[in-house]
Chains A and B, each alone.
Chain A
Amino acid sequence: MAENQKVIIDTNVLVAACIIENIKELGIVVNHRLYSQSRHLFSVFIKRQQEKIGILTPTVHSEAFLVLSKAVKDVFIPSDFQDIKIKQIFYDNAVALVNSSEHRMRYLVGFLLKKYPNYNDVRKFHGLVKDMSMYLKDRWNVKYRGRISRIIESERRSENIITGTKWKDDQKDEVFYTHEGQVHIEARQLEKFMRNWPNRNDEMILAETLAIKNDYKKISEEYQFHIASGDTGFFSPLIYKNTLSNIVTREIKERFEIVCDLPNVIQWIVDPVPINEE
């Protein structure tokens, strides 16, 4: 069992977990990959409560209800209602779903440690996070934006491998297409990253995490920090057709020594012992 592990929960994991918990409780069968992932991660927090592994940052705590409300509203409220009475049924149903999920959220938050880092520290780290974001934005513009840029990047990567003279054309093509697939998924992830540009709340969560980590490091250098998230545009790798892009999370790891990944990966790191339940 790994000691001194700390896990920051991203807003989307907290919100998704409480919605799924809630829906499951209603007897609705849900087969969602995040259900067992998030449940197992929270099971670790519950099982090892004394260690206070799970941490809630001020931004996540503050925005969770907003994110929950917006996620429910955007899906449950159609744009055209002819009948006010039917509209009211939809509105009441959406409020009931938000509120019942929020009850579950309150329960889950009870197992997280609420940390309020020093504001000056957060501001200082926020500058470093902004630098990283600008670097990724530049990479997007130079290497991935537009088909031509991506082909050039795929060719550049292929050249490093195709050095011998005995390579046949179909072998060269295979190398190129492999790299093209990788470049494509990286471009897709950076596109997601850029779609929310500037990622103010994600950047703030990362800055808060760094400030909290800084506080823990004053106690011991051995603390390891992780962020559990399903946000493939920032805190989680993107996997598509067996190809993985970790272009953003790798940057976070290299710059700040924080591992960001899906809840099940983080759970495996902090508590590799399988949890038998259900």
Chain B
Amino acid sequence: MRKQIMQQITENLYNMEASGKVDLSILKLLDELRSMIKELKQKWLEDRNTESYYFYQGLRNIELMLDKMQDRFEHAPEKHDNPKIAEDSIALFKVVDDLLSITETNTINDQNVNKILYKTRDLRNAASRLNLIEPIEADVKMLDKDNIRYNFTPMMKNLDIPQDEDPAVTFGGESESNN
């Protein structure tokens, strides 16, 4: 199913690139892709292993990029973004396809976790380069501030940077709080 949708999307994009005109029928194909991603997300949500989060994270990132892509397609004529948006999307879909193929696995192990994390990173790097990354406001809107505040110290400890255990090293014996 993935291969079929991806093939249709890619053909559509190449046609747009060749004709130099936006064809909004691609939005229907993007919706089909979204449905497929939704199913995959559900699969990983139902998995009891907490490492499933990394696969969910990869899929959620594709969704965010599709939102941005859709926005650019819809506003392409007025912003003279054609055929640039088609070219950018072609480049991004190569990474999207790789990432989707990893999330189709049913096996969670270190190798697959690393694969999905590296691919998600590659996707975000590509999206940033191609102006297809979600605006930071979209992320901020989702954040639960109380949860973050509550978990801040454990998060730092996770990075081996404890809040309380080791006072800051400073020259002259002054602690940073005195500065």
Contact = CB atoms under 8 A, between A and B. Distances in A.
Interface of A: 12, 15-16, 19, 23, 26-28, 30, 32-34, 36-37, 62, 65-67, 69-79, 84, 87-89, 91-100, 102-103, 106, 192, 230-233, 236-240, 244, 261-262, 264-265, 268
Contacts of A265: 169-171
A28 B160 contact: no
A262 B169 contact: yes
Contact of A84 (B46, B128, B167): B46
A100 B163 contact: no
B70 interface: no
A14 to B, nearest CB: 10
Contact of B117 (A69, A87, A93, A236): A69
Interface in B54-73: 54, 56-57, 60-61, 64
Q: Is the interface of A mostly helix, strand, loop or mixed?
A: helix
B147 A16 contact: no
Given A66-B117, A97-B148, A84 B159 contact: no
B13 to A, nearest CB: 25
Given A73-B57, A239-B167, 6 more contacts: A16-B159, A33-B163, A62-B118, A84-B42, A92-B60, A265-B170
A15 B159 contact: yes
B160 A233 contact: yes
A16 B161 contact: yes
Contacts of A91: 45, 53, 56-57, 60
27 contacts: A16-B161, A19-B155, A34-B156, A34-B161, A66-B118, A70-B117, A71-B158, A73-B53, A77-B50, A77-B53, A89-B144, A91-B56, A92-B60, A93-B142, A94-B57, A95-B139, A96-B139, A96-B140, A96-B141, A96-B143, A97-B143, A99-B134, A231-B161, A232-B166, A237-B169, A240-B165, A264-B176
A123 to B, nearest CB: 22
Interface in B123-179: 124, 128, 134, 136, 139-145, 147-149, 151-152, 154-156, 158-161, 163, 165-171, 176-177, 179
A236 B17 CA distance: 53
A33 B158 contact: no
Contact of A26 (B50, B140, B159, B161): B140
Contacts of B160: 12, 192, 230-233
B84 to A, nearest CB: 21
Contact of A239 (B140, B143, B166): B166
Nearest to B140: A100
A261 B163 CA distance: 16
Nearest to A195: B160
Contacts of B167: 33, 239
B139 A103 contact: yes
Which residue, of A96, A238, A240, has the highest number of chain B Cβ atoms within 10 A?
Answer: A96
B155 A75 contact: yes
Contacts of B117: 65-66, 69-70
